[in-house]
Structure 1
Amino acid sequence: MTEHGRPSAPSLFDHAVEEIRATEFRDDLVVREITAPAGVAPFSLAVAADIRPEVDGVDSPYGTGRFILLHDPDEPSAWGGPWRIVCFAQAPLEPEIGTDALLADVAWSWLVDALDSRAAAYHSASGTATKTLSKGFGSLAEEGDGAQIELRASWTPSGSLSPHIEAWAELVCMLGGLPPGSEGIAVLGSHRSTRG
């Protein structure tokens, strides 16, 4: 505690970390802590998620994501507050879905809808949605065509952090073909190419 009775930055961050660690996720999404990027903020926590991974610690062929919580008591002007969330989610797609002109817009709307459905307060959101189509040649020709969607986003949260990480987890699952309420159901498009 500071001399004014307010929590110090480390204790604020420690409380935020406890809140994130206490978040429960659906059974078919494996979430683990990973090393946070250095030098971005004085305090940071990073987690990774994989949809039904075949091997722990290896990106899932169904979808994967990263969630990074940054805290800087000096409130960088670009953040508009002391906290910033940076997230990433990607999943392979059937090639015909990868050509959909609205795919990037849909991916972004899934994130916004997931945040809004949990009443997660935020501002200063930004991001990119990228769709990639690929075709194998030579020794990779037999792998066929592939497609992938990738969303990178950041925003400044306020209030409880649990709704934010829950929304990110929902996004990872949605991109991987697992909408809310589909626990225990086969992954949609499970014959997708794992090439991006």
Structure 2
Amino acid sequence: MTRMPSLLKPFLCLCLLAPMPAFAFQSDTTNILMLAISLGGFCFFNLLLTGLFYFTGQYHSRRFAKIHTLISLLPALLTFILAITYIEGAGAISLNIGVIIVSIALSILPVQLSPTANAPTDKTPLILATVALLLMVVAYYAAPLTIFALAIAHVAASSRGTLSVKLLSYATLITGYSYLGYWAYQIALHS
């Protein structure tokens, strides 16, 4: 057995214990925080959607779970591209890579939940339409939530529900797309 050189051992310990995310805020703090907070917020609301779809039985369909997973992976991929392109420094990249790894882990959760999901009930479209409407009301105070309300409303509209549930879903979709268009117009106007 050979012995490790005396300088190599402290160097390896330093490399393993170095707090790279602590150096993330040296030069481009705004970019790092925006990416981390945006992706973290998306992960949180995507996790809520995952719970909603699981408990309403939407993951009984493996196709639905795979599509939800693929859509959920898009923001993580976009954040990865932005992190590699615009952020300088190893600390900033390591912080964002950590958030991206957590996002990917939460994004593949629907595929893992699919085998244990129950079948949808008769109340599933009503629950989805009601949650979409409530989330749309909350979205008037936090506009990005409109995207999640629209996703739920689309699922509720495509479910086999009564006419009143479909009308509620379509009303939420019309309101949501109108509000999203107004929000995009305001961003374009003030930027």
Structure (1 or 2) with the greater helix fraction: 2
**Largest Rg, 1 or 2:** 2
TM-score interval, normalised by the smaller of the two chains: under 0.3
TM-score (norm 2): 0.28
TM-score (norm 1): 0.27
